[in-house]
Amino acid sequence: MDLSFVTIIDFIGTFAFAISGIRLASEKSFDLFGAFIVGMATACGGGTLRDVFLGQSPFWMTQWVYLAITAVALVAYIFFHKFINRIARTMFTFDAVGLALFTVVGFQKTLDAGFSFWAANIMGMMTGAAGGVIRDILINEVPLIFRRDIYALACAVGGVIYTLSLVYGLSDIFAQSACAVSVIFIRICAVKYHWQLPILKE
């Protein structure tokens, strides 16, 4: 297995998103299997849609490691749930990190498939945000992306920073890191300072 920088952050993002999904499933009193499904859907849902749009086999169907990472996340939550739940912003932190890392992965994989920067930006946003939409639907919540919080827009801004970094000849790792940091920064500021998009009125 090629443990490139993108692959490593993909694994970290998978674990982070799986934890966020499993934690919300526990709040809804799901059983272990249900929690695993929610964690898997959160971690792999966006990437699955991305691969389908790119005409590729969904990544988790050809690499068992993503199922294993979700299982490890479930076991970690079982043993450390009291510690995780005691930290008020844990779920938000894991969600923000997963969002950022998956935006990078989706962007880079789309470029690797030969598509343009604008397509990579859309696929990065989908990879980052779609898993959370599927998670919220499974636990019967209004998806976060449809509320006023800055969420998918953070992915789009990160994608623009990624694009500009590459256009100006900066290294791939710098572009990926700048994208991830910007997404996390925007999400944290959006929550802390209540940044919101205007509501569409009748």
Share of the chain above pLDDT 70, in %: 94
Distance CA 162, CA 132 (A): 22
Q: What is the pLDDT of residue 58?
A: 94
Measure the N-to-C terminal CA separation of the chain; round to a whole number of Å.
53
Q: What is the pLDDT of residue 44?
A: 95
Distance CA 27, CA 19 (A): 12
Distance CA 100, CA 13 (A): 8
Distance CA 123, CA 104 (A): 10
Q: What is the pLDDT of residue 89?
A: 58
Work out the average pLDDT over 46-67.
Answer: 94
Full-model pTM: 0.86
User: Is the distance from CB of 127 to CB of 102 less than 8 angstroms?
Assistant: yes
For the chain, the average pLDDT equals: 89
Q: What is the pLDDT of residue 26?
A: 92
Res 47 pLDDT > 90: yes
Segment holding 59, helix H or strand E: helix 59-62
The two structure tokens encoding residue 45: 């849902």
Q: What is the pLDDT of residue 8?
A: 85
CB neighbours of 178 closer than 8 A, spacing ≥ 6? 161, 162, 165, 170
Q: What is the pLDDT of residue 16?
A: 85
- Tell me the residue type at 21: G
Q: What is the pLDDT of residue 195?
A: 83
Of 31-35, 112-116, 154-158, 195-199, the range with the lowest mean pLDDT is 195-199
Distance CA 99, CA 94 (A): 8
Res 73 pLDDT > 90: yes
pLDDT digit string, tens, across residues 81-90: 888 777 655 5
Find tokens 């859907």 and name the residue: 41
- DSSP one-letter code for 87: S
φ and ψ at residue 196, rounded to 5 degrees: -145, 155
- Model confidence band, residue 80 (pLDDT cutoffs 50, 70, 90): confident
φ and ψ at residue 90, rounded to 5 degrees: -60, -50
Distance CA 180, CA 6 (A): 11
pLDDT digit string, tens, across residues 114-143: 999 999 999 999 999 999 899 999 999 888
The two structure tokens encoding residue 153: 């827009």
